[in-house]
Amino acid sequence: MDENHTLSRTEHFREEVSAFWKSYRRSKLGLAGLVLFVFIVAVALAAPFIAPYDPFASVGPPFGAPSMSHILGTNDAGQDIFSELLYGARTSLLVGISAALIVSALGTMVGLVAAYFGGIIENTLMRITDIFLLVPDLPFIMILALYLGPSVWNIVLAIGLLWWSGIARVIRSVVLTIKEEPFIEAAKAVGASDRHIMLSEILPHTIPVILVGVIRFTGFGVLYEAGLSFLGLGDPTVNSWGTMLHFAQADGAFLRGMWWWFFPPGLCISLTIISFTLISFSLDRILNPKMRGTGRAG
C-alpha cells in the first residue's frame, strides 16, 4: 500500500509539472526569459573552457582596443576584458542566487512561524518585520558592507539581512489562509506535531510564492552586487561585472571612450535582470495569479 501511495504521489507530481510546463510555454515572454537565463548560466559555467585567457593575467598592452587577439580589448593592467566578462558572470550569478536563497529562507521561516502560532509570537515577529521594511535599502546595505569589509559573501549577507521582511509578510498572509483549511484541522485531530504540520502540510503550499520570490530577488541581487562593487564595496580580488565597472570608472574608461570596457558588463547586468524579470512575471501569473509582488525590491 505504501508503495502504491508513493507511486501515486510521484505520478501526481509528474502531472503537475507537465501541466505547469504547458502553461509556462504559452508565455512568449517567459520562454524568452528562460532561454536568456539558460544561456547566461551556460556561459558562466563554461567560462573556464571558453575564456581565451586567465582573467587575472596580463596578456596584452594596457588600454588595448578590440582586436583579433582580444575581442573586447584589454584593461589598464593588460588583462583580457572578454575573459573577465565570462568569469564575472559566475560571481554575479552566485551573489544573486545566494542572496535570494537567504532572503527566501529567512522570510519564509518568519512568516510561517508568525502566522501559524499567532498571538505574542506573531506580534513580535511582525513588529520586527515592520522595522526592517522601513529601513532604506541602499544606505543600510552600504553601511553593513562597509562595516563587514569588502567581500562577496558580506554583500550576500547584507542583502539577505534586509530583504527578508517583504517576503515574510507575503508568506504570513498565505499561511493565515492555509491554516484554516480542513486538512490542517484533520492533521491536528490525528495528533500531528506543529513541526510536521508547518513543514509537511503548510510549507508545500507556499512553494509558488517562494519560487517567484527566489527568481525575482536573484535579479535584484545581481543588480545590488553590481552597484555595491561599482561603489568600491565589493571584493577587488574577485571578478564580477560590478568590479569591472568599478575599475573602468576608476581608470578613466568613460573619459577615454573605451566603450568595450564598460558597455559589455553593463549590458550583461541588464540582460540578466531582464531574464529574471520575465521569468518571475510569467511564474507569478501561472502559479500565483492573485499575488503581485513578493517584497520590497519588486
DSSP, residue by residue, the chain: -HHHHHHHHHHHHHHHHHHHHHHHTT-HHHHHHHHHHHHHHHHHHTHHHH-SS-TTSB-S-TTPPP-SS-TT-B-TT-BBHHHHHHHHHHHHHHHHHHHHHHHHHHHHHHHHHHHHH-HHHHHHHHHHHHHHHHS-HHHHHHHHHHHH-S-HHHHHHHHHHHHHHHHHHHHHHHHHHHTTSHHHHHHHHTT--HHHIIIIIIGGGGHHHHHHHHHHHHHHHHHHHHHHHHTT-S-TTS--HHHHHHHHHHTTHHHHT-HHHHHHHHHHHHHHHHHHHHHHHHHHHHH-TT----STT-
99-121 b/e with 16+ CB inside 10 Å = b?
Answer: bbbbbbebbbbbbbbbbbeeeee
Distance CA 73, CA 180 (A): 61
Residue (of 210, 282, 213, 287) closest to 34 by Cα position: 282
CATH of 2-287, one of 2.40.50.100, 1.10.3720.10, 1.20.1730.10, 3.40.190.10: 1.10.3720.10
Predicted local distance difference test score (pLDDT) of residue 39: 93
Asked if 243 contacts 165 with a C-beta cutoff of 8 angstroms, the reply is no
Residue (of 177, 183, 161) closest to 288 by Cα position: 177
Residue numbers in the chain where pLDDT is lower than 50: 1-7, 9, 290-298
- Enter the C-alpha cell of residue 15: 502531472
Distance CA 210, CA 167 (A): 8
Predicted local distance difference test score (pLDDT) of residue 298: 42
Predicted local distance difference test score (pLDDT) of residue 35: 92
Encode pLDDT of 52-98 as tens digits: 998 888 888 888 889 888 899 898 888 999 999 999 999 999 989 99
Distance CA 173, CA 196 (A): 20
Domain assignments of the chain as residue spans, ordered by start: 2-287
* Identity of the amino acid at 233: L
Residues 6+ away with beta carbon under 8 Å from 23: 286
Residues 6+ away with beta carbon under 8 Å from 144: 154, 157, 158, 161, 162
Asked if 215 contacts 297 with a C-beta cutoff of 8 angstroms, the reply is no
pTM equals 0.81
Predicted local distance difference test score (pLDDT) of residue 153: 84
Radius of gyration of the chain (CA): 23
Encode pLDDT of 135-174 as tens digits: 787 787 788 777 877 778 888 888 888 888 888 998 998 8
Distance CA 284, CA 294 (A): 10
